[in-house]
Chains A and B, each alone.
Chain A
Amino acid sequence: MAVRGIEARGGRRNGLAFLYDARVRAICYQVLTVLLFLLAVGYLAHNTLQNLATRGIASGFKFLYQPTGFGLAMSLLPYDELSSYGRSYLVGVLNTLLVASLGVVLATLLGFLVGIARLSNNWLLSRLAGMYVELVRNVPLLLQILLLYFGVLQTLPSLRESLSIGGVVFLNIRGVFAPAPILQSGFAAIPIAFAVAVAASFWIWRWARRRQRETGQPFQTGWAAAALLLGLPAVAALLTGMPVSFEYPVLQGFNFQGGFVIIPEFVALLAALVLYTAAFIGEVVRAGILAVSHGQTEAARSLGLGDGQTLRLVVIPQALRVIVPPLTSQYLNLTKNSSLAAAVGFPDVVQIFSGTVLNQTGQAIECVAMVMLVYFTISLSISFFMNWYNRRIALVER
């Protein structure tokens, strides 16, 4: 590419020869680009300022301190109509993070199951998994969310005719109403017991690994850890006399009072996100497992490892190297797709800020920028974390 014009043309040296120098040209192009870019930005900024002035729209972030005047269907923070726009932003961000993090965990679990099922020797299972993947991948996510919300959840019975599970959990068109746990004094013992169990499991895992390395004797770390993690908190709960009481939902007037409610918008969004992303993750997992050479499986079998052990100890660790990069982009997709909440009215950051707040204040640039900032930050953090993880598990070669 970098053909030096002067030398190539046998020393033709007139006054304009420097124009044939690739370096000079590159600088000219770049200066031109910068000028054009600045000109465009300046032009747009000029227009924007004029438009804002003629439409009488304020600019700046003062509006964040004003009260919103609207309520929200779901909030992890205390929030009411008198809360500020800034607080509604926080509520929206938290709701987005909640959907995204639950979605990532559930979609990963389901996706690994689907990917392994597609590779199963069981003909029926692999065909069913394949049909699921093809069906879900070829239908828009937004349509699936709307179908789940309007086609399934909105056809649930009304408040008066709620489906009840043992008179404790109620299911109706307004969502799932379940008993809410109320913590009492002495409850702290349970999380402490859990933390002790986690530490003990970790210690057992290290001990078992060392013992296997030295003596070759395996140890059922999984069972031991499960027993500890479930058992210790249970013992603690028994010893302190069950320091948790439950507040049951009761139908009063036009709605259930008390208890814990999961709104249908949340269920529709989360379920659709998980089902959709799991199909993609399933394909990623399948490709990763297929990328592990068959010789590895055969070698594992010849060492006497069983099916499960081969998968767990030989195939998956190697497949993960192939799986992690595309898995990261699926996580990012899920997070970005959670913005489809706007379609069913789940109060995530897009629905609150690009919708209601933008309409009320008219401060389009600030609102859209603040929403974009959220996704920008989440995307960057997920990719930083996954890059770190990817480096950690990457093949170390000479």
Chain B
Amino acid sequence: MATASDIDRPAAGEFRPKPDQPPPALSVGPLAWVKRNLFGSRFDSLLTLACLAALYYLVPAVWRWAVAEATFVGDSREACAPNPGACWVFVNVRIEQFIYGFYPQAERWRANVVVLLGLGSLTYALSEAMPWRKWVALFLILPYPVLAYILLLGGMFGLPPVETRLWGGLLLTLIIASVGISASLPLGIALALGRRSKMPVIQLLSIGFIEFVRAVPLITVLFMASVVLPLFLPPGSNFDQLLRALIGVSLFAAAYMAEVVRGGLQAVPKGQTEAAAALGLGYWSTMRLIVLPQALRYVIPAIVSNFIGLFKDTTLVLIIGLSDLLQMVKLATTDSKWIGLATEGYAFAGAVFFVFCFGMSRYSLYLERKLGTGYRR
């Protein structure tokens, strides 16, 4: 039996390469990664050091303020006195107002039912591989709005009425956003089809509306809905402030949606409409069966990012006096018992908005990846 040394010894005249040298210490492993990605050049190293310095000052400071030296439990301002950090007690005490506004305590279960049912069936309808998804989606589109309207407003079926001026907080934000989203999509599609119509009058009216609304800020549209719209209506008719805001937000969002949908319509090749015409389909059948399904599919990510914008824009209703989440926080920070806690209040509201918007943007990224598979080469 040959020993190892026998094998390693080359025979006379035989070529044996030397064993491989190990790679230089700085070209593999974590150190190499650090060198390549953090200290690639002199300028890079400077940048990295600057970033590290900023983090060194910022992160511990924020941590101390928000967690380490903050107060979480208690029921009054005094509970926060011993700690120099954030006073989350403020948010804790006010959380119900932040969520429901002035909605009467005894009736809040109705708001809960509406929101949970809505979010629940939306999640169900959006998750794949669930049975009867279509029926849940149909429920969301048809009976759900009626149900939500009856439950929230009351005055029917023995439910005590709750006026819309009492609606507020996150509840109101969600209501405005969902009404705006569900009204702006069909309106936007109609406007986009109108803009591409061959009839000059319809085209002109659509272009006029879209360009006019897109040229002015949402605030002025809301002011228009709030102070000018009542002048347009027959004398003596009383008009709900929330309904005015909803009309303003929906029309505003519809103009932006129209431009997104138009982008999708332009991306559908002309051959598709021609093929549809050759099959004998009329205008509406062509649009419903051939063009719109493709067009909307192209622009789903853009539609979702429009929704995110709309969700953020709902905060503007506070300027015409509705008490959405941001307005409730603003009101709470001006309470003399809790003065000087603006940062805590706005940080909380910001976190809530961030969760919703970031969630939507992640979902849109996921859709983009999923839908892109057929087109990506």
Contact = CB atoms under 8 A, between A and B. Distances in A.
Interface of A: 1-3, 26, 29-30, 33-34, 37, 44, 47-48, 50-52, 54, 120-125, 128, 134-135, 137-144, 146-147, 150-152, 154-155, 336-337, 339-340, 342-343, 350, 354, 358, 364-365, 368, 371-372, 375-376, 379-380
Contact of A339 (B198, B220, B231): B220
18 contacts: A33-B205, A50-B234, A51-B235, A54-B235, A122-B51, A124-B37, A124-B47, A125-B51, A142-B316, A142-B326, A143-B350, A147-B342, A150-B333, A155-B343, A339-B217, A358-B223, A371-B220, A372-B224
A124 B52 contact: yes
A19 to B, nearest CB: 14
B48 A340 contact: no
Interface stretch (B124-132, B146-154, B163-171, B353-361): B353-361
B48 A124 contact: yes
A376 B212 contact: yes
Contacts of A358: 223, 227
A361 to B, nearest CB: 12
Contacts of A147: 342-343, 346-347, 350
A139 B354 contact: yes
B351 to A, nearest CB: 9
Interface in B327-349: 330, 333, 340, 342-343, 346-347, 349
Nearest to B52: A124
Given A123-B38, A150-B342, A143 B233 contact: no
B361 A350 contact: no
Contact of B202 (A29, A122, A372, A375): A29
A139 B232 contact: no
Contact of B361 (A29, A51, A138): A138
A371 B52 CA distance: 47
A121 B350 contact: no
Contact of A143 (B52, B234, B273, B326): B326
Residue of B200, B217, B308, B340 most packed against chain A (CB within 10 A): B217
Contact of A121 (B40, B227, B330): B40
Contacts, number: 167
A224 B346 CA distance: 48
B51 A350 contact: no
Contacts of B333: 150
Contacts of A150: 330, 333, 342, 346
Nearest to B355: A138
A144 to B, nearest CB: 8
A138 B40 CA distance: 32
Contacts of B224: 368, 372
B286 A1 contact: yes
B234 A47 contact: yes
Residue of B37, B52, B308 most packed against chain A (CB within 10 A): B37
Nearest to B274: A1
A128 B212 CA distance: 38
B300 interface: no
Contacts of B44: 121-122
Contacts of A2: 198
A29 B203 CA distance: 12
B7 interface: no
A154 B346 CA distance: 14
A368 B228 contact: yes
Contact of B315 (A37, A47, A143): A143
Given A30-B199, A30-B201, A50-B235, A375 B220 contact: yes
Nearest to B358: A138
A151 B38 contact: no
Which 6 residue pairs are nearest across A and B when measured between Cβ atoms? A138-B357, A336-B217, A150-B342, A123-B37, A151-B343, A140-B312
B319 interface: yes
B215 interface: yes
A264 to B, nearest CB: 13
Nearest to A341: B219
Interface string B123-143: 000000000000000000000
B342 A125 contact: no
Nearest to B343: A151
Contacts of B219: 339-340, 342, 350, 354
B349 A1 contact: no
Contacts of B227: 358, 364, 368
